[in-house]
Structure 1
């Protein structure tokens, strides 16, 4: 599959996660593996998963490293669950535990669902109820966390992609730049519109490189030159620390 824009990615995540949540639970094991394959293969979602590791290091570091469904000591479970103070923490925990199992090459029946019993002692509960508990404690919080990064996340280094909120703000600034240019030419208008499209796909580093290239080779050079391209990017992104 080709790299998706953040808008397309959001739609796919919603479609795949809704299918896992609302379809017959007997197919969830395969669907979850396929969903994680998708997330790891798409540049934007792959970077979001990396950000979760970076933003929740205490939860990830303290989790048992084994990917198998082994029984945990009560004190370990208590320690980990004491770290889950927010819904976002719960989402990161859900991701890390599912990811550990996803990395096992040979899957086994109910591999993902069984972590519910390991972490929340659901032995003896009906399988359908265990599946629902898995969704509530692991999968849904993880999806909510993904959605937060897509909508509200902020670029913190050059490898990050812009969130939908940031994209809206960037587009508004680009529109203001165009309205301030008297008699803006069609070619320059097209270049600005092209930048708006690229913001949906590119991380900050690649966007900067593309704009620098456009200053030299396209009508955008009429608006900015090579010397002030960094100032131009700073203006539309409100950031100076990421550009060097």
Structure 2
């Protein structure tokens, strides 16, 4: 039969675990929208603009000025749509990372504390085993590719990539104050617009960010090796000159 102090220990542990579970709602970033309805309305508005300024409408139109308007409206709506999905993606990444760490760390501390105040070998073993299991869960989750890498570095790389592509898109849209609509369209045709939209969307992805990080690491290693060879070569020349 369970003794009173053991019952208290179990109750304390369960209550604290419930409180820790509530920490799963802790977010690592502010919500982008006040409600799901606001987010859905924004997406619906962009879809409406895209439908009204479709690729078919662009090619059906012969007037250059109207074509330019359709191209720009389509581009703006697609960029806005991508931005919403990207911000949601980053928020979810940060929320998952924060929630997991807070929940598991709090639960482990709670179970360890409950095991300390509990009397009886079996009770201590139960709490210790549960705490160890949760720590193992955290280790398994953190071995996931998204958590294995440094999340801030990944997000910073994605932001830099997005800004770079965004700047190129804006530069392509402009062709000078005296540029006609026909010249603007010729300089930035719809085929390039579609390609740039795809590049902008890809810029906010984990695989491309990892590729960029690995590329920069490779460049840093190459530069370090070059500097080392130059330093060794300079040292050898200095020794030769002193001998002469």
Assess same fold via TM > 0.5.
Answer: no
Question: More relative contact order in 1 or in 2 (CA 8 Å, sep 6+)?
Answer: 2
| Shorter-normalised TM range | under 0.3
Structure number with higher helix proportion: 2
TM-score where L is the length of structure 2: 0.26
Q: Which has the larger radius of gyration?
A: 2
